[in-house]
Amino acid sequence: MRFAHESVRIAGVNPNGGRVINYEYPLNERIRTLLRLEDLFDKALHFVAADAQEDHHVALMMLFEILEVAGRADLKFDLVQELERQRQTLLSFRNNPEISEEALFGALYEIEQASVQLLAMQGKIGQYLRENDWLMSIKNRAAIPGGVCEFDLPAYHYWLHRDPEQRRAGLSGWLEPILPIRAGLTIVLRLLRASGRPETQLAAQGVFQLMLAGRTAQMLRLRVHRSDPYIPEISANKYALNIRFTAPDGDLRPRPAEVDISFELTFCNL
């Protein structure tokens, strides 16, 4: 299987004060879905918190995208199952003198709360949104370029002219029932990201190849210095990993880097 560079997710937070860029590559469909949902939830909540009409329009579009991505019938089950697996793993660390009991209790409590909230969700994810004819009329028109203009959807135009607090209340009410999905995937992705150990690697003339020899991973993380103007493109299968760095020109068109590039590589696996 090939994982093209389009699968990259650029992590928005890193521990080095903005000195590096973290690139994340999911190596299976489940992690790909979780990363997409994480990105959509982050954007939706960011724009909900703003006041402008345009921000709240974007927040609503993000909600529709969450509805599409989260539509997998087994998403909730996958999250509950993974959280339970991680809970059992953490329980095995009880009475370990090298593990903080307080930190362990906090992690277990967080997992248990997320599981309870997920299990309390009834029916298909976001079904209450699908049953809202007004929202679905906007969603259907939004699929058409320029389809949500005021002459197409005057009721939506009216909604956009309500007070920001009224719009925010509506958006928050539509988002809140599916926030347990965000809580669950946040825990899973945090544990996944913490599961690996960074290794410094060198891409000779902008190319890095590694035979995996049975090594498995669910996600790769690449860390590149922000001062290095290079973009990693990756392909992988169960036998080998290939990374090719490109250097964008003034129009951001990629061209082979053709220089030695140092970077950090982390294999992440739950």
The whole-angstrom separation of Cα 270 and Cα 256 is 34
pLDDT digits (tens, 9 = 90+) for 52-86: 999 999 999 999 999 999 987 689 999 999 999 99
Predicted local confidence at residue 18, as pLDDT: 65
User: Does residue 96 carry a pLDDT above 60?
Assistant: yes
**Domain limits, CATH 1.10.3900.10, in the chain:** 34-190
Instruction: In whole angstroms, give the CA distance from residue 184 to residue 194.
Output: 16
Name the superfamily (CATH) of residues 5-28+196-268. YacF-like domains (2.60.440.10)
Highest CATH level, class, for 34-190: mainly alpha
Question: What is the C-alpha to C-alpha distance for residues 94 and 105, in angstroms, rounded to an integer?
Answer: 9
Report the C-alpha dihedral over residues 202, 207, 211, 215, rounded to 10 degrees. 60
In tens, the pLDDT along 188-237 reads 999 999 999 999 999 999 999 999 887 889 999 999 999 888 999 999 88
Residue 238 CB contacts under 8 Å (≥ 6 apart), including other chains:
1, 212, 216
The pTM (predicted TM-score) of the whole model is: 0.88
